[in-house]
């Protein structure tokens, strides 16, 4: 799962299989939009004006399989829109295949079928930083509890990684609070 900051994807969680290839991705990490499945899924939802601004920055390779030209990436994004999900093959990590879909698109599709799915719109720019007790009040369990614990530990480390983990922890809190 990722959130869409301006020119990178911020990882706040992921699902892997038992024999998954080790990847560079870590909770709270920031990664290129054009080399990750999550990034391509999010890029495919952007309008032409946003993409035009995005393509003013260089598409740097992560591996020899990375897409590094606007033309190539536009083809990948069109395939993503048609299929409904993004697919990357060894573009971020050698030996790794990634499949991702933008949550917004999934919500649009399933919203008529489930009465409880809704988008929440923030009407303020106030930032509220949750405390430890705020997380225990959420009664997180399973993967969400593990992710919160990992992110909390990383956020205490300081530096860029600590700030990124803190950002991801805030997002996790907002998502969990909205689902509660």
Domain regions of the chain by residue span = 2-108, 121-179
Model confidence at 139, in pLDDT bands (50, 70, 90)? confident
Model confidence at 135, in pLDDT bands (50, 70, 90)? low
| C-alpha dist (Å) from residue 60 to 5, 15, 146 | 18, 26, 32
* Cα–Cα–Cα angle for 98, 102, 108, rounded to 5 degrees: 145
Which residues are within 8 A (CB) of 81 and not within 5 positions of it... i.e. 6 or more apart? 44
Tokens 């405390």, residue located: 131
CATH number of 2-108: 3.30.450.40
- Residue 113 tokens read as 């079928």
Distance between CA atoms of residues 45 and 121, nearest Å: 18
Percentage of the chain surpassing pLDDT 90?
13
Q: Does the structure show a pLDDT above 70 at 79? A: yes
């Amino acid at each position: 799962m990722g959130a869409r900051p301006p020119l990178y994807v911020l990882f706040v969680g992921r699902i892997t299989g038992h024999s998954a290839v080790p990847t560079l991705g870590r909770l709270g990490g920031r990664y290129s939009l054009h080399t990750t499945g999550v990034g391509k899924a999010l890029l495919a939802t952007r309008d032409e004006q946003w993409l035009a601004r995005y393509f003013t920055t260089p598409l740097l390779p992560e591996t020899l399989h990375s897409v590094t030209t606007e033309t190539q990436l536009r083809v990948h994004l069109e395939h993503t829109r048609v299929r409904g999900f993004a697919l990357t093959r060894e573009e971020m990590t050698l030996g790794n295949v990634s499949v991702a879909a933008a949550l917004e698109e999934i919500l649009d599709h399933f919203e008529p079928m489930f009465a409880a799915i809704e988008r929440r719109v923030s009407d303020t720019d106030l930032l509220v930083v949750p405390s430890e007790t705020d997380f225990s009040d959420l009664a997180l369990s399973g993967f969400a509890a593990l992710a919160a614990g990992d992110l909390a530990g990383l956020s205490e480390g300081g530096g860029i990684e600590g700030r990124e983990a803190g950002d991801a922890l805030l997002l996790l809190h907002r998502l969990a609070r909205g689902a509660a």
